[in-house]
Amino acid sequence: SAAAPVTTGQVALGVIPGDGIGPEVTAEALKVLEVAAPADLKFAQTSYDLGAERYLRTGEVLPDSVLEEIRNQDALLLGAVGGKPNDPNLPPGILERGLLLKLRFELDHYVNLRPSRIYPGSVSPLSDEVLAKGEVDFVVVREGTEGPYTGNGGALRVGTPAEVATEVSVNTAYGVERVVRDAFERARRRPRKKLTLVHKTNVLVHAGQVWWRLFQQVAEEYPDVTTDYSHIDAVMIYLTTDPQRFDVIVTDNLFGDIVTDLAAAISGGIGLAASGNVNPDRTAPSMFEPVHGSAPDIAGQLIADPTAAILSGALLLDHLGHPEAAARIEAAVLADLEAREPGQQRRTPEVGDAIAARVLG
Amino acid sequence: SAAAPVTTGQVALGVIPGDGIGPEVTAEALKVLEVAAPADLKFAQTSYDLGAERYLRTGEVLPDSVLEEIRNQDALLLGAVGGKPNDPNLPPGILERGLLLKLRFELDHYVNLRPSRIYPGSVSPLSDEVLAKGEVDFVVVREGTEGPYTGNGGALRVGTPAEVATEVSVNTAYGVERVVRDAFERARRRPRKKLTLVHKTNVLVHAGQVWWRLFQQVAEEYPDVTTDYSHIDAVMIYLTTDPQRFDVIVTDNLFGDIVTDLAAAISGGIGLAASGNVNPDRTAPSMFEPVHGSAPDIAGQLIADPTAAILSGALLLDHLGHPEAAARIEAAVLADLEAREPGQQRRTPEVGDAIAARVLG
Ligand SMILES: CC(C)[C@H](C(=O)O)[C@@H](O)C(=O)O
Ligand SMILES: CC(C)[C@H](C(=O)O)[C@@H](O)C(=O)O
């Protein structure tokens, strides 16, 4: 069951292929997951039909009964959800709030984990001069269950010239401490053992103060971890001119959303960015997904790059207690990326096959 | 007086040199301002001693009497304020909230204007491939008087494990419409006539909805302006991989803070980034300042680059109704940047002299 780390036996794996290229990349992630998993680990898959297509067909986003089934899985793999841009039948934000964020909140995914590496051969938009400074390899631990993402706030006199609309960012000591602690744990396990808090404490003083206090407080338990602090605006400069300075970043839900997209962009695009929505206490299944969207414009052509989905599978294995299996996938992806020729066009299943072969080989 | 555009005669110019390199770069900005201004425009300067030094010496941040004097100026020029990092005698955020933000709110600087250009010869951290796509030249119109910057919010059970802290983003139709309208005006005056709204409407629905509604509504009055929309996270990707797509961006106070630092970073660093805190209704003086800080580590050595301060002077002249004089400064800066040799070391006054000479030129 979800409560304990699964090390052997049967893993109940909920799969949400989603829309557009989602099913295509998910198939490759599953292919690689199967070959990378230890022999004594078997995945019992249940597929859930959720996303824009289901909504457009049935009007349902996430029925309660489906949520309850999902809650009983050991882990979840998601492809991507989202319809055609500006589809008038798809109210903006409905899938985001009704499905993606709903799962994060319901399953208490308080650690949104986003590793960033500039792999050899990946096309970074940064200059050779910046890249020459050294290896870029950091992970963002983004809070996933509070901050400005709670939906708190409201509006008065809507549609009139006297309208006032508020958004309330909610930050609890409970919520901040647990994610900060998780980030310190992750920093401790990495060679550089460095953790950067990112916030805007000079302006957002109420929230800033609870983040700052708990960061300092938890730091005392981790004397082996070096800490520092950056304002979110300064991070924009650091990530583009000196990304090597970061090891682990911990930040709130909204800053994390922004920082991780920049991190994905500088490390060669969201085509390679994997993420985990993690419930470290294992009171509900964690969910792993590529950062990219459903790319309806290229769906069905089998030309999407499944690498980010495959790397999400590695995060899933790591979370289930199989770091060696996760490392095998990462090494296979790395080798595949190194072998890619500029201009080479491979079909989605070919990339999956190539990486699966390297995992086996 | 501040209520009408000043075109000739005496301009009451309030100067806040500030701390660190602030006075050094302000001197050069004033030097260039004097030579660029039309012959019939004279600056009557009043200097205000404000910033970290004054606070440390007197305990005062912005006395009411000084604020009232400042309110009666026609325009303001600020160098930079800020003390040594982690000075225990300087409470974090005190100058930001007590001086910089206070001035923006008190003087109703609802348009925070930040132009971004990749000048030839400037050191962008972006790859040649991205830069080769074309010229980068856009301006961010950041809302300056509401959003998450109002200080609204609070905390309960501070310092305990049951603490909850909130930040409230306040968005009024009044405040959103006026800044959106200003951005449309600016877009209309530019060759490409394109305006992008940046927000996070899929998550911040209350605020998003008022921004979205007023953006669409005002757009109807500007059929000649092309509009589009980007989520703040997607902007991270666009600004690093395709900055050419932007012409004018309009966004809220916090997103604007983040976007403009990224914009400054990709266009060669905040050493070149100028900004205006503008009150377009001229009910109070507007303030112009470089985006960079006081850089206490290099203060007193006269090695700071005054270019951003000089360009802020150009924004000031433009605001006072002298676009030709502003253009002369910009052209002189451009020529100076083109003539810079890699590795060339000039002292702060030498850069100011060189640009002033080109203005006269
Ligand atoms: C789809 C959206 C709600 C989501 C977010 O803002 O968290 C996405 O941008 C992400 O980063 O996972
Ligand atoms: C100093 C700080 C309060 C300010 C802001 O956040 O607006 C600065 O970052 C800026 O962008 O002008």
Considering only CB atoms, A258 lies closest to which of B161, B202, B258, namely B258
Distance B257 CA to ligand 2 centre (A): 6
Find the residues whose C-beta lies inside 6 A of ligand 1: A 96, 100-101, 257; B 202-203, 233
- Quick one: B143 and B253 in the same domain? yes
What is the three-state SS of chain A? CCCCCCCCEEEEEEEEEECCCHHHHHHHHHHHHHHHCCCCEEEEEEECCCCHHHHHHHCCCCCHHHHHHHHCCCEEEEEECCCCCCCCCCCCCHHHHHHHHHHHHHCCCCEEEEEEECCCCCCCCECHHHHCCCCCEEEEEEECCCEHHHCCEEEECCCCCCCEEEEEEEEEHHHHHHHHHHHHHHHHCCCCCEEEEEECCCCCHHHHHHHHHHHHHHHCCCCCCEEEEEEHHHHHHHHHHCHHHCCEEEECHHHHHHHHHHHHHHCCCCCCCEEEEECCCCCCCEEEEECCCCCHHHCCCCCCCCHHHHHHHHHHHHHCCCHHHHHHHHHHHHHHHHHCCCCCCCCHHHHHHHHHHHHHC
The token duo for B155 is 């905390």
Mean pLDDT for A42-54 is 97
Residue B36 sits in the same domain as residue B66: yes
Output the average pLDDT for chain A.
95
Who has greater pLDDT, B8 or A211?
A: A211
Residue A243: per-residue pLDDT? 97
Whole-Å CA distances, A237 to B12, B219, B267: 35, 32, 11
Number of residues assigned to chain A: 361
Q: Taking CB atoms and an 8 Å cutoff, what residues of chain A touch B215?
A: none
Nearest chain B alpha carbon to A266: B240
Whether residue A162 lies inside any domain: the answer is: no
- Average pLDDT (B74-103) is 95
CA of A90 to the centre of ligand 1 (A): 17
Do B258 and B143 fall into the same domain? yes
User: Average pLDDT, stretch A324-353?
Assistant: 93
On whether residue A183 sits in a domain, the answer given is no
Query: Which range has the worst mean pLDDT, A5-9, A56-60, B141-145, B217-221?
Result: A5-9
Tell me, yes or no, whether B142 and B176 share the same domain: yes
Give the pLDDT confidence score for residue A220 in this predicted structure: 98
Distance B64 CA to ligand 1 centre (A): 44
Contact A96 B130 (CB under 8 A): no
Residues forming beta bridges with residue B117, ordered by sequence position: B137
Least confident of A270-274, B100-104, B167-171: A270-274
Q: Which atom of ligand 2 is nearest to the CA of B96?
A: 3
Q: Name the residue type at position A239.
A: L
Q: Using CB atoms, which residue from A149, A200, A240 is nearest to B240?
A: A240
3-class secondary structure for B178-218? HHHHHHHHHHHCCCCCEEEEEECCCCCHHHHHHHHHHHHHH
- Using CA atoms, how far residue A318 sits from A35, A286, A288, B197, in Å, is 15, 11, 11, 39
For position B2, what pLDDT does the model report? Answer: 42
Is residue B119 part of the annotated active site? The answer reads no
Among protein residues, the one with the nearest Cα to ligand 1's atom 8 is: A257
B165 in helix, strand or coil?
strand
Number of domains in chain B: 2
B257 close to ligand 2 (CB < 6 Angstrom): yes
On whether A302 is known to bind a ligand per the annotation, the reply is yes
Last-in-domain residue among B231, B246, B266: B266
B150 and B247 housed in the same domain: yes
Is the predicted pLDDT of residue B110 greater than 90, yes or no? yes
**Domain-located, residue B119:** no
d(CA B142, CA B277): 9
* Domain contains B330: yes
- Residues A324-340: what's their mean pLDDT? 94
Q: Per the annotation, does A312 bind a ligand?
A: no
Q: Give the number of C-alpha atoms closer than 13 A to the C-alpha of residue B325, restricted to the C-beta side.
A: 24
Residue of A nearest to B293 (CA): A234
Residue A202 Cβ inside 6 Å of ligand 2? The answer reads yes
Using the 8-state DSSP alphabet, how is residue B74 labeled? S
Q: Which ligand has the minimum distance to the alpha carbon of residue A93? A: 1
Residue labelled with tokens 């940046």: B198
Q: Which of B237, B266, B295 is the last residue of a domain?
A: B266
**Residue B195: which CATH number?**
3.40.718.10
Averaged pLDDT for residues B282-311: 96
- On whether residue B115 sits in a domain, the answer given is no
Residue B118 domain-assigned?
no
Q: Which residues of A are catalytic?
A: 149, 200, 233, 257, 261
Please check whether residues B28 and B90 belong to one and the same domain.
yes
- Whether B283 and B254 map to the same domain: the answer is no
Give the predicted TM-score (pTM) of the model. Answer: 0.95
Mean pLDDT of B289-307: 95
pLDDT of residue B51: 98
Q: Is residue B155 part of a domain?
A: yes
Query: Is position B131 within any domain?
Result: yes
Binding residue per annotation — A254? no
Domain closes at, from B266, B299, B332 = B266
Predicted confidence band at B123 (pLDDT cuts at 50, 70, 90)? confident
pLDDT of residue B239: 98
* Residue from B199, B205, B230, B233 whose mutation best tests the ligand 1 pocket (most atoms within 8 A of CB): B233
| Amino acid letter, residue B21 | I
Predicted confidence band of residue A5 (pLDDT cuts 50, 70, 90)? low
Residues of A in contact with B260 (CB under 8 A): 233
A335 pLDDT above the threshold of 90: yes
Q: How confident is the model at residue B269 (pLDDT cuts 50, 70, 90)?
A: confident
The per-residue pLDDT for range A134-149, each reduced to its tens digit, is 999 999 999 999 999 9
CB atoms within 10 A of CB A117: 20
A161–B174 CB contact, under 8 Å: yes
Percent of chain B at pLDDT above 90?
Answer: 91
- Note down the domain range covering A2: 1-108+294-361
Whether residue B255 is found in the same domain as residue B351: no
Q: What is the pLDDT of residues A242-265, one digit of tens each?
A: 999 999 999 999 999 999 999 999
Nearest CA to ligand 2 atom 6: B257
On whether both B74 and B130 belong to a single domain, the answer is: no
Per-residue pLDDT tens for A195-241? 999 999 999 999 999 999 999 999 999 999 999 999 999 999 999 99
